[in-house]
Structure 1
Amino acid sequence: MEKTSGWRGTREIWIEAAYQALIESGIDAVKVMPLAERLGLSRTSFYGHFSDRDDLLKALVTLWQSKNTGNLIRQTEAYAETITEALLNVFDLWLLPDLFDSRLEFAVRNWAHTDQDLARMLEDADQVRVEALQAMFFRFGYDPDYARVRADTVYLTQIGYISMIKDRPSEPPGPRLQRMPFYVEVFSGRPVSDAEWARFRARHPVAS
């Protein structure tokens, strides 16, 4: 980014730098001076956009809430004619980082171990997300109790997957994508149609 004399940066680049520090090294790395050095800016620039470090941390939490929780809810409510199509809409989240940021999710969950307020927000977010998935199953005629169990299964499977991303090499997207119709059938009890799978693959043209 081109800098000019007296340039003080923007709120967005401070948040982006904090985001990068968080996902790379954890919450202890999100401190004003290291971020200023990273950006080639001064503390004065930081305080032109944030009242203090806590203000920056709140911006990171807001980013996480909006991107991961907000988009998950929207995907559960997206148009679908069948539960299998609805699940494939949800699966878009796991393949498109712009919709659901798994690295941010992992970092926030680690951060919550040392922050009780964030831990409560995380618990609330988990509840809201599972309820959105439950409502999706209920919309397609599942008994409420079955809808909740299926929602839990979908959600806990993915959160478990995210919890392992730091402990293993990145999985190629092709093989994972090819398994998704089987996951949909396990989660819903119904097979994905050829037409539904073709539309999903068109959204995710990854070689197998």
Structure 2
Amino acid sequence: MHDTPKQVWIDAAYTALTTSGVESVKVMELAKSLSVTRTAFYWHFKSREALLEELIQMWEDKNTGNLVRQTEAYAENISEAVFNIFDLWISDELFDSKLDLAIRYWARIDEALQRRLDDADKRRIAAIKAMFERHGFTPVQGETRAMTIYYTQVGYIAMEVSESVDFRIARMPEYVGIFTGRPVDPSAVERFNARHGIRNSA
């Protein structure tokens, strides 16, 4: 029926994309999974490509948009600024690693998407670089440290590293020290731990 909400189709397409790849995002298969006719799809989308564009836009808005916003969030010092970025790696609400990985796989067979992915990567790195510069780092230092932070996380995503949240949070102060090359501000550690429900962490 045509009263199947648009978001239901997007959610079903998201699940297919992140579990089986873009080739599995097919109108007929989605309709079957939702127990509706394929005609219902066209009440919301002109074509399969329109649905795929919704997924890409969701990825750009959430992952790139939130990353840039986190780099621009208030921070008393560079320690707190990097912890703001680390919030992304802890919260699925801020950054969707599964979707990021699925987009990277998809881009391998879609040149137009690869260009958008390249632009997104550049925008993300530029935002982190600018964050470092605001905290007194030179452009070269900022760019190098931005690439180090970003490529480390992309590697985590690509390798599908499985760690508990507590394990990652416990080591994040060490990462901050490595990425900034400066002593880690204890107050920034406390604030980061507090917003993630960690108490009495060293």
CA offsets, 1:96-140, max 9 Å, x none?
Answer: 001000000010000000100000000000000000000000000
* 3-state SS, counterpart of residue 107 of structure 2: helix
1:178 equivalent to 2:170? Answer: yes
Query: 1:173·1:206 contact (CA, 8 Å) conserved in 2?
Result: no
Q: Where do residues 19-168 of structure 1 align in structure 2 (5 Å cutoff)? A: 19-165=14-160
- Structure 2 Cα separation of the partners of residues 66 and 156 of structure 1: 20
Shift of residue 206 of structure 1? 5.2
Amino acid across the alignment from 1:76 = T
Q: Partner letter of residue 8 of structure 1?
A: D
Deviations 1:149-171 (A, max 9, x none): 01110100000110000xx5x31
How far did 1:83 drift? 0.6
Q: Distance in 2 between matches of 1:145 and 1:61?
A: 31
CA deviation after TM superposition for structure 1 residue 47, in Å? 0.3
Among candidates 158, 162, 183, match of residue 191 of structure 1: 183
TM-score using structure 2 length: 0.96
SS in 2 for 1:114: coil
- Cα contact 2:14–2:55 (8 A) shared by 1: yes
Could you list the structure 1 runs, at least 4 aligned residues long, displaced by more than 4 angstroms after superposition. Answer: none
Q: TM-score, normalised by structure 1?
A: 0.93
Q: Any idea what SS the aligned residue of 1:201 has?
A: helix
Q: Partners in 1 of 2:2 and 2:30 — Cα distance?
A: 16
Determine what percentage of the aligned residue pairs are the same residue. Answer: 51
Alignment partners' CA distance in 1, 2:184 and 2:24: 44
**Which residue is 1:205 aligned to?**
197
